[in-house]
Each structure stands twice: as C-alpha cells, then as structure tokens.
Amino acid sequence: MGTERLTGLRAALADEGTALLGAFCGIPRLEVVQIIGYTGFDLVILDGEHGLFDASALPGLIAAARGAGLQVVVRVPRLDPQVISAALDAGADGVLVPHVRTAQEALLAVQACRFPPRGIRSLHGAVAAARYGTRPDYLSAANTDCACIVMCEDAQALEAIEDIAATPGLDAVFVGPFDLSASMGHVGQPAHEEVVAATREVFAAAARAGVAAGVMAAAPGAVAGWFADGARFVVAGLDTVMLREGAAATVAATQIRASR
C-alpha cells in the first residue's frame, strides 16, 4: 500500500479491526438488495458472474444498496478492464474479480481499477460514480476509494498465492471455496479439510503481504471461525439460498406437509 492515504472500502479493508459481513445478490431487484441491508449485513456483492443481470442493472441496485447502508462490491463476470471500469463507473465501492490465477492477472485487475498514471481505467467524469459530473474530487478520490479484490478459486492460484497477494495496489484476496474445492478434486465439498487448510494458507499469504483476506463461508456457523482465523470480510449468504431456506422453514413450521 505504501504511504497512500486510503478512503472508502479500501480504507476499511486495510483496517485490521474490520469485520465485514457480506451477502451475494444475484436477483436483480432493489427490494432484495434493501432486505440484505436492512437485516444487518455490512456489504453486498452484486453477482455479475452468476447473477441474472448485466451492467445496465447496476446503477439502480447500487443506489438501493447505498440507501440501505451497504458497501457495494460487484463481482464482474471475468477479468476484463472494460467490464471492471463499467462496474466502477456505475458507482461500486469495489470489484471482485473471479478466477485470478497469476500475479500478472492480479496486476491487470489492479490497473483496471485505477485511473492513470496508476492504472489503465478509462476516464469519464459524468458517470454515476462521479455523481454525473457534480463531484469535483472524483478523479483523484476514485483511486483511493475503489477496492480491487481478486478471487482465489483455482489450484493454480494457490501455487502463485504469495506473488498474487503481494501485487502492488491490491486490497484483498477472497477465497471461493466451491470452485476451489472442485479444482482441488473435492467437488461439492467446500468444507473439506484440504480446502479449509488451503484457505488458511491464503489468509497467511495475505497477512504477510499486508492485504485483507475474505472467504465465502460454507455455512453461517463457520463465519465466526473465519473471522477468528483473520478474515476481514466473510460472505455468509446468497440471496437465492436465503430465500429458499426461509421459504422451506415457513412451510415446515406450518406442519401441513407432514399431516398430508
């Protein structure tokens, strides 16, 4: 990080006292985003990789998240500077870049998040993030505000994790245990002991590099343990899963099905 004075989500992730609880949102409805905020989550990740929306839905969803008191990260569908720029132009506090496997890819992700001379992000002073031209400090503040988070979810990334974590300007490494488990030969077993051990190795590499670590918890009961292991942000839920489980619990509580 050097001596740069960070702000926004970048500053929060750099703070060792941070403990952000997040949720993935793949349903393109502002009501879903608002519910995530109003029920106590700190951060929402708008899922542009697996979610049911594209960049055109982002401004409204981000505005809804802001109104509900949430930090907003967009998981972009791929490592693509134009796609990353579009998410940040829409007003996201940061991006989550999937399947980053090498330090070179991590550096490209960081550069895509920063305006020149620190990066290659395209400049536009009248987008939503700039309050359509009414934020005079936008071009300078965006570099210190917007967080670049890369996902470690491949066995190849584990081999390069020290170099990935040490990428200049990177804010956090986030472990995706579901894809990681598949890549390690344990398909559908995100809580497998080898996957858990690998996640802790990622945390250790992040700590050595002075960047934040995060993870998707396999179950809500695992969240506290990940924070204890050094995570600064943990994703504890997915909107579709929370909706399914809530609906199933409601049906079960009626005891109607059992009596049929």
Question: Which two three-digit tokens encode residue 142?
Answer: 């965006």
Give the percent of the chain with pLDDT over 70. Answer: 97
Question: Which two three-digit tokens encode residue 57?
Answer: 């839905």
What are the sequence ranges of the domains in the chain?
8-259
Cα 93 → chain centroid: 10
Domain 8-259 belongs in CATH node 3.20.20.60 = yes
CB atoms within 10 A of CB 170: 26
Q: Is 91 helix (H, G, I), strand (E, B) or coil?
A: coil
Residue 172 has pLDDT above 90, yes or no: yes
pLDDT, position 161: 98
**If you search the block for the tokens 């909107």, which residue do you land on?**
239
**Region at 182 (left for phi over 0; alpha for psi -120 to 50; beta for the rest):** alpha
Show Cβ contacts of residue 219 under 8 Å, excluding neighbours closer than 6 positions: 191
**If you search the block for the tokens 């170099």, which residue do you land on?**
163
Question: Which two three-digit tokens encode residue 199?
Answer: 């996640």
Show Cβ contacts of residue 234 under 8 Å, excluding neighbours closer than 6 positions: 19, 20, 21, 22, 214, 215, 216, 217, 223, 226, 227
Cα–Cα distance measured from residue 249 to residue 232, given in angstroms and rounded to the nearest whole number:
30
Positions annotated as catalytic residues are 50
Global pTM? Answer: 0.94
Cα–Cα distance measured from residue 236 to residue 254, given in angstroms and rounded to the nearest whole number:
27
Show Cβ contacts of residue 70 under 8 Å, excluding neighbours closer than 6 positions: 33, 36, 37, 41, 42, 43, 44
Query: Which range has the worst mean pLDDT, 131-135, 160-164, 208-212?
Result: 131-135
225-243 b/e with 16+ CB inside 10 Å = b?
A: ebbeeebbbbbbbbbbebe
**Mean pLDDT in residue range 67-75:** 97
Residue 186 has pLDDT above 80, yes or no: yes
Q: What are the tens digits of pLDDT across the range 7-46?
A: 999 999 999 999 999 999 999 999 999 999 999 999 999 9
Cα 127 → chain centroid: 22
**Mean pLDDT in residue range 83-95:** 97
